[in-house]
Amino acid sequence: MQHILACIDESTWSTSVQDAAIWAAQQLKHPLTFLHSIEKQHLPDSNDLSGAIGLGARSKLLSEIATLDELRAKVALQLGAELLAAAQDKAQAAGCTEVTTLQRHGEFSDNLLALESTARLIVLGHSGTRTDKKLSILGSNVESLLRQIHTPVLMTPHDFSTPNNFMLAFDGRATTEAALERIVTSDLLRGLDCHLVTIKNKHPEQQEKFTAAAQRLRAHGFTVQATYLEGNIFNQLLSYQQEHAIDLMVMGAFASPRLRQFFIGSNTIKMLESSDRSILIMK
């Protein structure tokens, strides 16, 4: 069975990731796995230093650098193990019965992509160890990672709270049709009130598909408030989310061709940068 893959680190955002992952595991009744990556420490290379220090000090300093490198690796390994153990205990105390942990060396993105095929849902925090505050501009590495992942990704804010409702930003294109399919065939959002929102565009069948989407959600037991808006996509979505106290945004992202990737991706990234709520990115 595929599992919920929650990526934690040493930042305060990990609490939110743990809470969101526990909620998702309980909703989906799937096993939960916590992943911690130990990335290589970027210490000065001995070859770079060999010409910058005196011959008498060179051997001692390079030896100390090697010792420091080894010490940092041991501390990172121990800290990661303790973080994973604490997360596992928390999930089990919350009622999750199948909880495992993974600690991997190497770049986080490489580790995540290697494990993606085993995941039903990936849970990430908006920010990581380099900051305890949300980034005003989401890093290009995050955007690149989201483009490569084919599994749904739940991006959590600094403080996660169990959602009571969700908003599906629907535009009638393949990505949001796929998001709709995942919603009605999954238990993740079951029991939450649905706000179905679309922004008028030039798609010839948008209105018809929007009406059909609302009908399909209702047929699967969702309480739906359907709203048809006009104007700037990002501004309208953000305003609606704030005015209606939406707990969870659901957005499709990065459809093809590449020109469309830029525009759809830009709105998704803007929401990630600007919203203080969880965002579920469907692929």
**HEC-encoded secondary structure of 136-157:** CCCCHHHHHHHHHCCCCEEEEC
Question: Sign of dihedral through CA atoms 72, 85, 11, 33?
Answer: positive
Tokens of 83: 């973080």
Q: What is the pLDDT of residue 262?
A: 38
Overall fold of domain 3-40+75-155: Rossmann fold (3.40.50)
- Local structure of 2: helix, strand or coil: coil
Highest mean pLDDT among 49-53, 81-85, 231-235: 81-85
Task: Give residue 64's pLDDT band: very low, low, confident or very high (50, 70, 90).
Answer: low
Token pair, residue 149, equals 């992942």
Mean per-residue pLDDT of the chain: 82
Q: Where in the chain is the domain with CATH 3.40.50.620?
A: 3-40+75-155, 163-282
pLDDT tens-digit map of 234-274: 889 999 999 999 999 998 765 444 434 433 456 777 777 77
Report CA 150 to chain centroid distance, whole Å. Answer: 12
Fold of 163-282: Rossmann fold (3.40.50)
Cα within 13 Å of Cα(139), Cβ side: 12
189-213 per-position pLDDT tens digit: 999 999 999 988 777 788 899 999 9
Given a cut of 90, whether residue 15 has pLDDT beyond it is yes
pLDDT beyond 50 at 139? no
DSSP track, 210-252: HHHHHHHHHHTT--EEEEEE-S-HHHHHHHHHHHTT-SEEEEE
